A and B are shown apart, each in its own frame.
Chain A
Protein backbone atom coordinates (compact mmCIF):
# COMPACT_ATOMS: atom_id res chain seq x y z
CA UNK A 1 0.00 0.00 0.00
CA UNK A 2 1.34 3.38 -0.95
CA UNK A 3 2.11 5.84 1.77
CA UNK A 4 0.02 8.93 1.35
CA UNK A 5 -0.28 12.14 3.26
CA UNK A 6 -3.18 12.65 5.57
CA UNK A 7 -4.71 15.18 3.18
CA UNK A 8 -5.19 12.77 0.34
CA UNK A 9 -7.23 10.18 2.18
CA UNK A 10 -10.95 10.18 1.83
CA UNK A 11 -12.68 12.29 -0.79
CA UNK A 12 -11.62 15.49 -2.51
CA UNK A 13 -10.87 18.85 -0.96
CA UNK A 14 -14.29 20.23 -1.90
CA UNK A 15 -16.12 17.43 -0.12
CA UNK A 16 -13.96 17.86 2.97
CA UNK A 17 -14.61 21.60 3.15
CA UNK A 18 -18.36 21.18 2.73
CA UNK A 19 -18.32 18.43 5.35
CA UNK A 20 -16.60 20.73 7.83
CA UNK A 21 -19.32 23.32 7.21
CA UNK A 22 -22.33 21.03 7.33
CA UNK A 23 -21.37 18.54 10.03
CA UNK A 24 -22.50 20.72 12.91
CA UNK A 25 -25.80 21.53 11.27
CA UNK A 26 -26.60 17.88 10.57
CA UNK A 27 -25.69 16.90 14.14
CA UNK A 28 -27.78 19.77 15.50
CA UNK A 29 -30.71 18.80 13.29
CA UNK A 30 -30.51 15.25 14.61
CA UNK A 31 -30.61 16.46 18.21
CA UNK A 32 -33.46 18.83 17.32
CA UNK A 33 -35.51 16.08 15.71
CA UNK A 34 -34.87 13.78 18.65
CA UNK A 35 -35.72 16.25 21.39
CA UNK A 36 -38.69 17.86 19.63
CA UNK A 37 -40.52 14.60 19.03
CA UNK A 38 -43.48 15.70 21.11
CA UNK A 39 -43.99 18.91 19.12
CA UNK A 40 -42.97 18.07 15.56
CA UNK A 41 -42.64 14.94 13.42
CA UNK A 42 -39.71 12.86 14.52
CA UNK A 43 -38.61 11.20 17.69
CA UNK A 44 -35.71 9.53 19.38
CA UNK A 45 -35.19 6.92 16.70
CA UNK A 46 -35.17 9.38 13.78
CA UNK A 47 -32.87 11.73 15.65
CA UNK A 48 -30.50 8.91 16.46
CA UNK A 49 -30.34 7.78 12.85
CA UNK A 50 -29.62 11.35 11.72
CA UNK A 51 -26.79 11.59 14.29
CA UNK A 52 -25.38 8.30 13.00
CA UNK A 53 -25.66 9.67 9.44
CA UNK A 54 -23.66 12.77 10.38
CA UNK A 55 -20.89 10.59 11.82
CA UNK A 56 -20.97 8.36 8.71
CA UNK A 57 -20.73 11.57 6.65
CA UNK A 58 -17.45 12.47 8.38
CA UNK A 59 -16.10 8.98 7.95
CA UNK A 60 -16.93 8.86 4.24
CA UNK A 61 -15.42 12.28 3.59
CA UNK A 62 -12.23 12.05 5.67
CA UNK A 63 -11.46 8.36 5.49
CA UNK A 64 -11.28 5.69 8.13
CA UNK A 65 -8.19 6.73 10.05
CA UNK A 66 -9.08 10.36 10.66
CA UNK A 67 -12.57 9.49 11.83
CA UNK A 68 -11.45 6.64 14.06
CA UNK A 69 -8.79 8.83 15.66
CA UNK A 70 -11.51 11.14 16.96
CA UNK A 71 -14.27 8.62 17.59
CA UNK A 72 -12.93 5.46 19.14
CA UNK A 73 -15.14 2.36 18.87
CA UNK A 74 -14.89 1.87 22.63
CA UNK A 75 -16.42 5.31 23.16
CA UNK A 76 -19.28 4.46 20.80
CA UNK A 77 -19.98 1.22 22.62
CA UNK A 78 -19.90 2.93 26.00
CA UNK A 79 -22.37 5.56 24.74
CA UNK A 80 -24.78 2.95 23.34
CA UNK A 81 -24.61 0.90 26.53
CA UNK A 82 -25.10 4.02 28.65
CA UNK A 83 -28.22 4.83 26.65
CA UNK A 84 -29.59 1.34 27.17
CA UNK A 85 -28.86 1.44 30.90
CA UNK A 86 -30.45 4.89 31.24
CA UNK A 87 -33.54 3.74 29.42
CA UNK A 88 -34.03 0.60 31.46
CA UNK A 89 -33.31 2.55 34.67
CA UNK A 90 -35.98 5.11 33.84
CA UNK A 91 -38.53 2.48 32.87
CA UNK A 92 -37.89 0.14 35.76
CA UNK A 93 -37.87 2.77 38.49
CA UNK A 94 -40.76 4.79 37.08
CA UNK A 95 -38.88 8.04 37.60
CA UNK A 96 -40.27 9.41 34.35
CA UNK A 97 -43.78 9.66 35.70
CA UNK A 98 -42.70 11.25 38.94
CA UNK A 99 -41.01 14.14 37.15
CA UNK A 100 -44.40 15.43 36.04
CA UNK A 101 -44.53 13.24 32.95
CA UNK A 102 -43.05 15.88 30.73
CA UNK A 103 -39.37 16.18 31.56
CA UNK A 104 -39.25 12.53 32.50
CA UNK A 105 -40.67 10.76 29.52
CA UNK A 106 -40.39 13.24 26.68
CA UNK A 107 -36.76 14.06 27.36
CA UNK A 108 -35.08 11.05 28.92
CA UNK A 109 -36.52 8.38 26.64
CA UNK A 110 -35.60 10.23 23.40
CA UNK A 111 -32.12 10.97 24.76
CA UNK A 112 -31.46 7.35 25.65
CA UNK A 113 -32.95 6.19 22.35
CA UNK A 114 -30.75 8.68 20.48
CA UNK A 115 -27.68 7.35 22.31
CA UNK A 116 -28.55 3.74 21.54
CA UNK A 117 -29.50 4.25 17.90
CA UNK A 118 -27.00 6.91 16.92
CA UNK A 119 -23.82 5.47 18.37
CA UNK A 120 -24.96 1.87 17.96
CA UNK A 121 -25.64 2.19 14.24
CA UNK A 122 -22.37 4.04 13.69
CA UNK A 123 -20.55 1.29 15.60
CA UNK A 124 -22.19 -1.26 13.29
CA UNK A 125 -21.02 0.74 10.28
CA UNK A 126 -17.44 0.87 11.62
CA UNK A 127 -17.47 -2.85 12.41
CA UNK A 128 -18.66 -3.75 8.92
CA UNK A 129 -16.11 -1.46 7.24
CA UNK A 130 -13.24 -2.85 9.30
CA UNK A 131 -14.43 -6.39 8.71
CA UNK A 132 -14.35 -5.98 4.92
CA UNK A 133 -10.84 -4.56 5.15
CA UNK A 134 -9.43 -7.48 7.12
CA UNK A 135 -11.20 -9.93 4.86
CA UNK A 136 -9.63 -8.31 1.83
CA UNK A 137 -6.17 -8.67 3.33
CA UNK A 138 -6.40 -12.23 4.52
CA UNK A 139 -8.56 -13.77 1.83
Chain B
Protein backbone atom coordinates (compact mmCIF):
# COMPACT_ATOMS: atom_id res chain seq x y z
CA UNK B 1 0.00 0.00 0.00
CA UNK B 2 2.89 2.33 0.71
CA UNK B 3 4.02 2.10 -2.92
CA UNK B 4 0.68 3.46 -4.12
CA UNK B 5 0.98 6.45 -1.80
CA UNK B 6 4.55 7.15 -2.91
CA UNK B 7 3.54 6.97 -6.57
CA UNK B 8 0.53 9.20 -5.93
CA UNK B 9 2.70 11.81 -4.19
CA UNK B 10 5.13 11.66 -7.13
CA UNK B 11 2.28 12.12 -9.62
CA UNK B 12 0.78 15.06 -7.73
CA UNK B 13 4.20 16.74 -7.50
CA UNK B 14 4.77 16.21 -11.23
CA UNK B 15 1.32 17.63 -12.05
CA UNK B 16 2.00 20.72 -9.93
CA UNK B 17 5.36 21.15 -11.67
CA UNK B 18 3.68 20.78 -15.06
CA UNK B 19 1.30 23.59 -14.25
CA UNK B 20 3.77 25.86 -12.52
CA UNK B 21 6.81 25.71 -14.80
CA UNK B 22 7.26 28.41 -17.43
CA UNK B 23 8.94 26.41 -20.16
CA UNK B 24 6.52 24.51 -22.39
CA UNK B 25 8.91 21.58 -23.00
CA UNK B 26 9.49 21.08 -19.28
CA UNK B 27 5.75 21.10 -18.75
CA UNK B 28 5.28 18.39 -21.38
CA UNK B 29 8.00 16.26 -19.77
CA UNK B 30 6.33 16.67 -16.38
CA UNK B 31 3.03 15.49 -17.89
CA UNK B 32 4.90 12.45 -19.17
CA UNK B 33 6.14 11.83 -15.64
CA UNK B 34 2.53 11.83 -14.44
CA UNK B 35 1.66 9.20 -17.04
CA UNK B 36 4.62 7.01 -16.13
CA UNK B 37 3.59 7.26 -12.48
CA UNK B 38 0.10 6.10 -13.42
CA UNK B 39 1.64 3.21 -15.37
CA UNK B 40 3.66 2.17 -12.32
CA UNK B 41 0.55 2.43 -10.14
CA UNK B 42 -1.26 0.04 -12.50
CA UNK B 43 1.69 -2.34 -12.31
CA UNK B 44 1.63 -2.26 -8.51
CA UNK B 45 -2.12 -2.91 -8.56
CA UNK B 46 -1.44 -5.94 -10.82
CA UNK B 47 -3.16 -4.70 -13.97
CA UNK B 48 -0.62 -5.37 -16.74
CA UNK B 49 -3.13 -4.68 -19.54
CA UNK B 50 -3.76 -1.18 -18.31
CA UNK B 51 -0.09 -0.60 -17.59
CA UNK B 52 0.92 -1.53 -21.14
CA UNK B 53 -1.87 0.58 -22.63
CA UNK B 54 -0.99 3.55 -20.44
CA UNK B 55 2.69 3.28 -21.35
CA UNK B 56 2.19 3.21 -25.12
CA UNK B 57 -0.50 5.90 -25.09
CA UNK B 58 1.74 8.06 -22.93
CA UNK B 59 4.66 7.69 -25.35
CA UNK B 60 2.46 8.53 -28.35
CA UNK B 61 0.86 11.55 -26.71
CA UNK B 62 4.27 12.78 -25.57
CA UNK B 63 5.62 12.51 -29.11
CA UNK B 64 2.58 14.29 -30.52
CA UNK B 65 2.85 17.05 -27.92
CA UNK B 66 6.57 17.58 -28.48
CA UNK B 67 6.73 17.15 -32.25
CA UNK B 68 3.47 18.69 -33.36
CA UNK B 69 2.55 21.36 -30.88
CA UNK B 70 5.68 22.45 -29.09
CA UNK B 71 6.57 25.04 -31.69
CA UNK B 72 3.37 26.94 -31.12
CA UNK B 73 3.81 29.69 -28.58
CA UNK B 74 0.68 29.41 -26.56
CA UNK B 75 -0.02 32.76 -24.96
CA UNK B 76 -1.25 32.44 -21.43
CA UNK B 77 -2.59 35.47 -19.67
CA UNK B 78 -2.32 35.27 -15.93
CA UNK B 79 -3.03 38.92 -15.33
CA UNK B 80 -6.42 40.49 -14.83
CA UNK B 81 -9.51 39.27 -13.04
CA UNK B 82 -7.43 37.38 -10.52
CA UNK B 83 -10.02 37.95 -7.80
CA UNK B 84 -12.77 36.39 -9.93
CA UNK B 85 -10.55 33.48 -10.91
CA UNK B 86 -9.51 32.79 -7.35
CA UNK B 87 -13.09 33.01 -6.12
CA UNK B 88 -14.23 30.58 -8.83
CA UNK B 89 -11.41 28.17 -8.02
CA UNK B 90 -12.20 28.21 -4.31
CA UNK B 91 -15.93 27.81 -4.96
CA UNK B 92 -15.52 24.81 -7.25
CA UNK B 93 -12.90 23.25 -4.97
CA UNK B 94 -15.25 23.49 -1.99
CA UNK B 95 -18.18 22.13 -3.98
CA UNK B 96 -16.21 19.18 -5.33
CA UNK B 97 -14.59 18.38 -1.98
CA UNK B 98 -17.94 18.47 -0.20
CA UNK B 99 -19.59 16.24 -2.79
CA UNK B 100 -16.62 13.87 -2.73
CA UNK B 101 -16.60 13.63 1.06
CA UNK B 102 -20.30 12.74 1.00
CA UNK B 103 -19.99 10.30 -1.90
CA UNK B 104 -16.80 8.56 -0.84
CA UNK B 105 -18.29 7.49 2.50
CA UNK B 106 -20.66 5.17 0.64
CA UNK B 107 -17.97 3.65 -1.58
CA UNK B 108 -16.69 0.15 -0.81
CA UNK B 109 -13.26 -0.18 0.73
CA UNK B 110 -10.24 0.12 -1.56
CA UNK B 111 -9.35 -3.29 -2.95
CA UNK B 112 -12.67 -4.93 -2.02
CA UNK B 113 -15.13 -3.95 -4.73
CA UNK B 114 -18.77 -4.89 -4.97
CA UNK B 115 -18.72 -8.29 -6.63
CA UNK B 116 -22.33 -8.58 -7.74
CA UNK B 117 -21.84 -8.40 -11.52
CA UNK B 118 -18.11 -8.91 -11.83
CA UNK B 119 -18.21 -12.16 -9.87
CA UNK B 120 -20.35 -13.72 -12.61
CA UNK B 121 -17.90 -12.45 -15.22
CA UNK B 122 -14.88 -13.78 -13.34
CA UNK B 123 -16.46 -17.17 -12.80
CA UNK B 124 -17.82 -17.69 -16.29
CA UNK B 125 -15.28 -15.89 -18.46
CA UNK B 126 -12.71 -18.66 -18.84
CA UNK B 127 -15.02 -21.67 -19.39
CA UNK B 128 -17.41 -19.79 -21.67
CA UNK B 129 -14.98 -18.01 -23.94
CA UNK B 130 -11.79 -20.03 -23.77
CA UNK B 131 -9.70 -16.89 -23.36
CA UNK B 132 -7.00 -17.04 -20.71
CA UNK B 133 -6.87 -13.28 -20.26
CA UNK B 134 -10.03 -12.49 -18.34
CA UNK B 135 -9.86 -8.78 -19.17
CA UNK B 136 -9.89 -9.43 -22.91
CA UNK B 137 -12.57 -12.08 -22.48
CA UNK B 138 -14.87 -9.61 -20.72
CA UNK B 139 -14.07 -6.80 -23.16
CA UNK B 140 -14.61 -8.85 -26.30
CA UNK B 141 -17.57 -10.96 -25.24
CA UNK B 142 -19.64 -9.73 -22.31
CA UNK B 143 -18.86 -6.09 -22.97
CA UNK B 144 -18.48 -6.10 -26.75
CA UNK B 145 -20.98 -3.27 -27.12
CA UNK B 146 -18.92 -1.27 -24.64
CA UNK B 147 -15.86 -1.87 -26.83
CA UNK B 148 -17.92 -0.71 -29.81
CA UNK B 149 -18.66 2.53 -27.99
CA UNK B 150 -14.99 2.99 -27.14
CA UNK B 151 -13.94 2.42 -30.74
CA UNK B 152 -16.66 4.80 -31.88
CA UNK B 153 -15.36 7.48 -29.53
CA UNK B 154 -11.81 7.02 -30.85
CA UNK B 155 -13.03 7.11 -34.46
CA UNK B 156 -15.09 10.23 -33.81
CA UNK B 157 -12.03 11.90 -32.28
CA UNK B 158 -9.93 10.93 -35.31
CA UNK B 159 -12.49 12.22 -37.80
CA UNK B 160 -12.99 15.42 -35.82
CA UNK B 161 -9.28 16.20 -35.61
CA UNK B 162 -8.82 15.42 -39.31
CA UNK B 163 -11.71 17.74 -40.15
CA UNK B 164 -10.32 20.57 -38.04
CA UNK B 165 -6.67 20.18 -39.02
CA UNK B 166 -7.24 19.73 -42.73
CA UNK B 167 -4.69 21.37 -44.95
CA UNK B 168 -6.78 22.17 -48.02
CA UNK B 169 -10.16 23.88 -47.81
CA UNK B 170 -13.29 22.13 -48.89
CA UNK B 171 -14.53 22.53 -52.44
CA UNK B 172 -17.32 24.82 -51.33
CA UNK B 173 -14.78 27.23 -49.88
CA UNK B 174 -12.69 27.37 -53.01
CA UNK B 175 -14.75 30.20 -54.51
CA UNK B 176 -14.22 32.45 -51.51
Partner of B133, one of A40, A49, A130, A131: A40
Please, what's the 1-or-0 string for A80-115, where 1 marks a CB less than 8 Å from any CB in chain B? 100110011001000010000110011001101100
Are A129 and B139 in contact (CB-based, < 8 A)?
no
Are A101 and B166 in contact (CB-based, < 8 A)?
no
Are A91 and B133 in contact (CB-based, < 8 A)?
no
B52 is an interface residue with CB less than 8 A from chain A: yes
Partner of A123, one of B71, B129, B162: B162
Cα separation A106 to B147 with both chains bound (whole Å):
12
Contacts of A136 in B (CB 8 A): 71
Contacts of A125 in B (CB 8 A): 60, 63-64, 67-68
Which partner residue on chain B sits nearest A84 by CB separation? B155
Q: Which B130-176 residues sit within 8 Å CB-CB of chain A?
A: 130-133, 135-137, 139-141, 144-145, 147-148, 150-152, 154-155, 157-158, 161-162, 165-167
B45 is an interface residue with CB less than 8 A from chain A: no
Q: Given A105-B144, A132-B68 in contact, is the A39-B132 Cβ separation under 8 Å? A: yes
A16 is an interface residue with CB less than 8 A from chain B: no
Cα separation A105 to B145 with both chains bound (whole Å):
11
A117 is an interface residue with CB less than 8 A from chain B: yes
* Distance from B138 Cβ to chain A, minimum over Cβ atoms (Å): 11
Q: Given A88-B148, A105-B141, A125-B64 in contact, is the A38-B154 Cβ separation under 8 Å? A: no
Cα separation A37 to B161 with both chains bound (whole Å):
28
Are B155 and A80 in contact (CB-based, < 8 A)?
yes
Interface size class of A (residues with CB under 8 A): 35 or more
Contacts of A37 in B (CB 8 A): 133, 136, 140
Are A131 and B167 in contact (CB-based, < 8 A)?
yes
* Distance from B100 Cβ to chain A, minimum over Cβ atoms (Å): 29
Are A121 and B158 in contact (CB-based, < 8 A)?
yes
Are A132 and B52 in contact (CB-based, < 8 A)?
no
Q: Which A25-44 residues sit within 8 Å CB-CB of chain B?
A: 33, 37-44
A56 is an interface residue with CB less than 8 A from chain B: yes
Q: Which A42-66 residues sit within 8 Å CB-CB of chain B?
A: 42-46, 49-50, 52-53, 56, 60
A134 is an interface residue with CB less than 8 A from chain B: yes
The 10 tightest CB contacts between A and B, nearest first, are A38-B131, A128-B68, A120-B158, A41-B48, A127-B165, A37-B136, A49-B56, A131-B165, A105-B140, A38-B136
What are 11 A-B contacts defined by CB distance under 8 Å? A40-B133, A41-B51, A43-B49, A43-B53, A46-B52, A52-B60, A53-B60, A105-B144, A106-B140, A125-B63, A135-B72
